[in-house]
């Protein structure tokens, strides 16, 4: 489930919890939130069934909204619900990819670009502008504002050493922001967000930033890295595929008429 959904387990107001099952093995759970006239429901692929789906749809009908279902953790050959046969439309697929570390480092030169740590005091506005530009087509990331950025910079996981920016003659032209998850099942690195300027980045800068982040993760002792990418993001997919990332599972967004 997403970080936000996990937070809402303990602190969410206006959140619907759908639960069936008698014990941990048979427990089924989904979480619904009405946001900007969309009823969005999140659940894990292996923690959902037809009974829960009927409850979710009847709640969406009550609210008078279409239902958007995020299914997390869909694996190939997994026991997925047949939402297409219920008139569902697959709207978006996000791939979770991963690879083992270390990665052999690549030595390259990029015009005058240099890499350094992000500076919270002086780089925020330039970074936000580049982020907006690079993610103009992205439904969430491109709309990040200064308040959202400050919230992220204040998180316990934030480490400036994992937030690299590249600079050409004083202008930030790319970045790679990594995150370390101290999950109960182990420490793992994440390429949290990576982008280069659509106008001012030499070819190969994306690959160099990715490689620098992966090297940093290896130096702090991580042996695995993961990331999320839209299936339709051809450029990023090419970069990750050719860097040895493979798909672990998919998160799918379905729209269901009520
Ligand atoms: C993802 C991103 C950082 C990659 O950077 P980039 O500039 O494409 O990276 P590089 O120049 O190092 O190119 C990486 C590879 O992709 C290839 N590539 C570039 N555009 C491509 C395209 N449209 N289709 C397929 N491959 C493409 C390059 O040829 C290169 O391959 P090669 O090294 O085998 O020649 C960049 O595309 C970007 O900022 N995208 C917008 C933000 C984004 O989507 N971030 C990722 C979120 S998960």
Whether residue 29 has its Cβ less than 6 Å from ligand 1: no
Q: Is the pLDDT of residue 2 over 90?
A: no
> DSSP readout, 174-227?
EEEEEEEEEETTEEEEEEEEEEE-SSS--TTHHHHHHHHHHHHHHHTT--EEEE
Whether residue 88 has its Cβ less than 6 Å from ligand 1: no
pLDDT value at residue 110 = 65
Tell me, in angstroms, the distance from the centre of ligand 1 to residue 197's CA. 11
pLDDT, average across residues 223-251:
96
Residue nearest (by alpha carbon) to ligand 1 atom 21: 235
pLDDT value at residue 107 = 56
Nearest atom of ligand 1 to the alpha carbon of 230: 48
pLDDT, average across residues 199-216:
93
pLDDT in tens, 27-55: 888 999 988 788 999 988 887 888 889 99
pLDDT value at residue 32 = 92
Whether residue 80 has its Cβ less than 6 Å from ligand 1: no
Residue nearest (by alpha carbon) to ligand 1 atom 43: 195
Q: Is the pLDDT of residue 106 over 70?
A: no
pLDDT in tens, 127-173: 999 999 999 988 788 889 999 999 999 999 999 999 999 999 999 99
pLDDT, average across residues 218-241:
96
Nearest atom of ligand 1 to the alpha carbon of 201: 7
Nearest atom of ligand 1 to the alpha carbon of 176: 3
pLDDT value at residue 194 = 98
Whether residue 196 has its Cβ less than 6 Å from ligand 1: yes
Tokens at residue 46, please? Answer: 């292996």
Q: Is the pLDDT of residue 3 over 80?
A: no
pLDDT value at residue 164 = 97
pLDDT, average across residues 174-198:
93
Whether residue 210 has its Cβ less than 6 Å from ligand 1: no
pLDDT in tens, 76-100: 876 667 888 888 999 999 999 999 9
**Comparing 122 with 63, which gets the higher pLDDT?**
122
Tell me, in angstroms, the distance from the centre of ligand 1 to residue 250's CA. 21
248 close to 226: Cβ distance less than 8 angstroms: yes
Q: Does a cis peptide bond (omega within 30 degrees of 0) precede residue 102?
A: yes
């Amino acid at each position: 489930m997403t970080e936000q959904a996990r937070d809402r387990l303990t602190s969410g107001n206006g959140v619907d919890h759908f639960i069936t099952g008698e014990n941990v093995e048979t427990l089924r759970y989904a979480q619904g939130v009405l946001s900007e006239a969309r009823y969005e429901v999140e659940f894990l692929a292996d923690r959902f069934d037809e009974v829960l789906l009927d409850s979710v749809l009847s709640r969406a009908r009550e609210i008078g909204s279409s239902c958007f279902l995020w299914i997390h953790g869909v694996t190939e050959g997994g026991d997925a619900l047949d939402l297409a046969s219920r008139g569902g439309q697959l709207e978006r697929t996000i791939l979770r990819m991963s690879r083992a570390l270390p990665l052999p480092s690549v030595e390259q030169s990029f015009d005058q670009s240099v890499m350094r740590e992000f500076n919270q005091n002086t780089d925020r506005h330039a970074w936000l502008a580049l982020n907006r530009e690079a993610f103009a087509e992205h439904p969430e990331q491109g709309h990040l504002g200064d308040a959202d950025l400050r919230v992220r910079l204040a998180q316990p996981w934030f480490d400036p050493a994992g937030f690299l920016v590249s600079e050409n003659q004083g202008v930030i032209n790319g970045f790679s922001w990594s995150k370390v998850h101290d999950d109960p099942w182990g420490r793992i690195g994440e390429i949290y967000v990576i982008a280069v300027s659509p106008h001012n980045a030499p070819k190969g800068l994306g690959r160099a930033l990715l490689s620098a982040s992966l090297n940093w993760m290896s130096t702090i002792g991580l042996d695995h890295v993961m990331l999320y990418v839209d299936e339709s993001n051809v450029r990023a997919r090419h970069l990750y595929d050719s860097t040895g990332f493979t798909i672990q599972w998919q998160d799918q967004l379905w729209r269901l008429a009520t």
